[in-house]
């Protein structure tokens, strides 16, 4: 394909994309396919000779679009949202064309420098403390990771190695492996499973602490755990707090946890994968009270800020704790320039895409006010759904609705809500998932406002489908 054909195919592809995005209401939210549907639709081997792009285009609908779950369908209310917008897609197109591997400043200066400025833009737009900004002139700054899971892993590895270095300074005869066995980290029982996985990958013991009646991890629980573990000879190193838990969008008490971490010498990390984008709106910032006490903070613009996957923003108070510990500097990667980060030291892979372009395009096209309007609209749609649910005495809402998630259930035993969930899955007109609180075992359904196309009529539609299902069950 030469440049002229690319112009033509590019236009065709843009048309296809816009037609797809405009077609959600005519498509099922979950595809009507069975496992194994795809293999018989395409040849078992790659073609020996190149094919015409027309043939490829002809396959997109039957092979691909017929089998995708439409995450941007207005009736998609599962998990948490994943973001998409035309400016972000255009940013990724440009990134694909530049196709650099920005592992160091010289490997592509614009890739590094735009990222540092975008990280500062994000931190300022969210009202994060100055110590996370490059422009504050301290040791802090931000980096784009692929996912919140990677961000947590980086934090675990940084906290682990920092703790081992400190222990070795005090006990020079201590072997790193022996010291490692004494380390312990903390999180809430409602934290995302990626936190537990990060602990496993980092080989650090982790305790999932009990939450209060609002599913929030509080200072007392952390204080007690630290005291218990110190008495056993363990070394507490890290607490991962969650703002916006995956199950129910509960908020750990960052002020209490941060105070204890600062006093006891633990790294305090805040995982705000979904909820972080809401900090764009000053009136929604209460849940992040105490954020200035955190040593690191992570949120996913690819969840709720109209930036396409992957784009997870990690901010560090002292980036040297990661950068210096993981540096490996072979001669072929060295260069003579200083004063800008070499982002390869801030992440696990060497290679990295030019992901800041899509942040730049999105923030400029929407402006902070456009992004705020987007968040506010989703929050208001969630409140509308909550009001509809609460208007029916058979239902209850089991977590305060702060952002775009409504956790609801049929009153009474779990079985009734489990049956409701099965009925909704079979019905397939809307897509949502269920969850359970660790502490109480209470089972509930999660209704999330996800799509940028979701409107009040879609909220009322989803509510009517749920009521129909409840009536069918005779509830
Ligand atoms: N943390 C929280 C609170 C989440 O809700 C999620 C996913 O929904 C994650 C972490 C994992 O996100 P990622 O897929 O970016 O690793």
Tell how far the Cα of 193 is from the centroid of ligand 1, in angstroms.
8
pTM: 0.95
Looking from the CA of residue 242, the nearest atom of ligand 1 is 3
What CATH architecture does domain 376-474 belong to? Answer: Alpha-Beta Complex (3.90)
Query: Does position 346 have pLDDT exceeding 80, yes or no?
Result: yes
| Stretch 62-82: mean pLDDT | 97
Tell how far the Cα of 192 is from the centroid of ligand 1, in angstroms.
6
In this prediction, what percent of the chain has a pLDDT beyond 90?
Answer: 90
Distance CA 463, CA 475 (A): 15
In this prediction, what percent of the chain has a pLDDT beyond 70?
Answer: 100
Domain 101-352 has CATH 1.10.3720.10: no
Distance CA 176, CA 354 (A): 36
Distance CA 65, CA 63 (A): 6
Query: Does position 171 have pLDDT exceeding 90, yes or no?
Result: no
Query: Does position 475 have pLDDT exceeding 70, yes or no?
Result: no
Tell how far the Cα of 198 is from the centroid of ligand 1, in angstroms.
12
For residues 299 and 102, the model is more confident at 299
| Stretch 55-61: mean pLDDT | 97
pLDDT at 229: 98
pLDDT at 186: 98
pLDDT at 177: 85
Pocket test for ligand 1, best of 79, 216, 273, 403 (most atoms within 8 A of CB): 273
pLDDT at 340: 87
| Stretch 123-140: mean pLDDT | 95
Distance CA 105, CA 103 (A): 7
| Stretch 167-178: mean pLDDT | 87
Q: Which residues line ligand 1 (CB under 6 A)?
A: 80, 147-149, 192, 194, 242, 244-246, 271, 273-274, 300, 312
Residue 431's beta-bridge partner residues?
A: 76
pLDDT at 329: 77
Looking from the CA of residue 272, the nearest atom of ligand 1 is 3
Q: Please state the domain extents for the chain.
A: 3-78, 101-352, 376-474
On average, the pLDDT of the chain sits at 95
Judge whether 205 and 199 are in contact, CB under 8 Å.
yes
Pocket test for ligand 1, best of 79, 149, 201 (most atoms within 8 A of CB): 149
Pocket test for ligand 1, best of 151, 156, 192, 435 (most atoms within 8 A of CB): 192
Judge whether 19 and 61 are in contact, CB under 8 Å.
no
pLDDT at 328: 78
What ipTM goes with this model? 0.98
pLDDT at 174: 82
**Contacting residues for 385 by C-beta, under 8 A, at least 6 apart:** 406, 447, 449, 459, 462, 463
Dump pLDDT digits (tens) for 357-390.
Answer: 999 999 999 999 999 999 999 999 999 999 999 9
Tell how far the Cα of 472 is from the centroid of ligand 1, in angstroms.
35
Question: Hey, what CATH topology would domain 3-78 get?
Answer: dopa decarboxylase, N-terminal domain (1.20.1340)
Looking from the CA of residue 246, the nearest atom of ligand 1 is 5
Distance CA 100, CA 107 (A): 8
Taking the CA atoms of 97, 101, 107 and 109 in sequence, report the sign of the dihedral they define. Answer: positive
- For the stretch 28-58, what's the b/e string if a residue is b when 16 or more beta carbons lie within 10 angstroms of its beta carbon? ebbeeeeeeeeeeeeeeeeeeeeeeeeeeee
Pocket test for ligand 1, best of 197, 241, 244, 300 (most atoms within 8 A of CB): 300
Query: Does position 173 have pLDDT exceeding 90, yes or no?
Result: no
For strands 183-188 and 235-242, give the pairing: parallel
Q: Please provide the distance, in angstroms rounded to a whole number, between the alpha carbons at the two ends of the chain.
A: 60
Q: Given the structure tokens 């000053």, which residue do they identify? A: 282
- Minimal-distance CA residue to ligand 1 atom 5: 246
Tell how far the Cα of 142 is from the centroid of ligand 1, in angstroms.
18
Dump pLDDT digits (tens) for 252-306.
Answer: 999 999 999 999 999 999 999 999 999 999 999 999 999 999 999 999 999 999 9
Query: Does position 337 have pLDDT exceeding 80, yes or no?
Result: no
Tell how far the Cα of 378 is from the centroid of ligand 1, in angstroms.
19
């Amino acid at each position: 394909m030469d440049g002229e054909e690319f112009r033509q195919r590019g236009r065709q592809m843009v048309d296809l994309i816009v037609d797809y995005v405009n077609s959600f209401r005519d498509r099922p939210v979950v595809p009507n396919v069975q496992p194994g549907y795809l293999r018989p639709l395409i040849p078992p081997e790659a073609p020996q000779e190149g094919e015409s792009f027309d043939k490829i285009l002809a396959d997109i609908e039957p092979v691909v679009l017929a089998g995708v779950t439409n995450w941007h369908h207005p009736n998609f209310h599962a998990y948490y949202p994943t973001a998409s917008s035309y400016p972000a897609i255009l940013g990724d197109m440009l990134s694909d064309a530049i196709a650099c591997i920005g592992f160091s400043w010289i490997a592509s200066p614009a890739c590094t420098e735009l990222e540092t400025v975008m990280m500062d833009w994000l931190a300022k737009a969210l009202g994060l403390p100055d110590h996370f900004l490059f422009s504050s002139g301290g040791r802090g700054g931000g980096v784009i990771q692929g996912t919140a899971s990677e961000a947590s892993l980086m934090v675990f590895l940084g906290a682990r190695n920092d703790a081992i270095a400190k222990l070795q300074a005090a006990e020079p005869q201590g072997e790193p492996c022996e010291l490692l066995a004494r380390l312990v980290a903390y999180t809430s029982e409602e934290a995302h499973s990626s936190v537990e996985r990060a602990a496993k990958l980092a080989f650090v013991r982790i305790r999932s602490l009990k939450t209060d009646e609002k599913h929030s991890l509080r200072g007392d629980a952390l204080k007690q755990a630290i005291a218990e573990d110190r008495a056993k000879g363990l070394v507490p190193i890290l607490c991962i707090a969650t703002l916006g838990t995956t199950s129910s969008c509960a908020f750990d008490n960052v002020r209490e946890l941060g105070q204890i971490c600062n006093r006891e010498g633990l790294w305090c990390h805040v995982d705000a994968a979904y909820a972080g984008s809401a900090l764009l709106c000053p009136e929604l910032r209460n849940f992040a009270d105490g954020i200035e006490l955190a040593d690191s903070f992570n949120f996913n613009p690819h969840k709720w800020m109209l930036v396409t996957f992957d784009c997870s923003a990690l901010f560090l108070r002292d980036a040297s704790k990661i950068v210096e510990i993981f540096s490996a500097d072979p001669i072929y990667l060295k260069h003579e320039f200083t004063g800008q980060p070499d982002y390869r030291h801030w992440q696990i892979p060497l290679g990295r895409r030019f992901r800041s372009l899509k942040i730049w395009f999105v923030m400029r096209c929407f402006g902070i006010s456009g992004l705020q309007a987007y968040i506010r609209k989703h929050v208001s749609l969630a409140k509308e759904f909550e009001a509809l649910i609460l208007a029916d005495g058979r239902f209850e809402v089991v977590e305060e609705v702060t952002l775009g998630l409504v956790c609801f259930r049929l009153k009474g035993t779990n079985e009734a809500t489990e049956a409701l969930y099965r009925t909704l899955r079979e019905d397939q007109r809307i897509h949502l998932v269920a969850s359970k609180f660790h502490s109480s075992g209470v089972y509930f359904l999660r209704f999330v406002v996800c799509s940028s196309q979701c409107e009040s009529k879609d909220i009322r539609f989803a509510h009517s489908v749920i009521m129909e299902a409840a009536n069918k069950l005779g509830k």
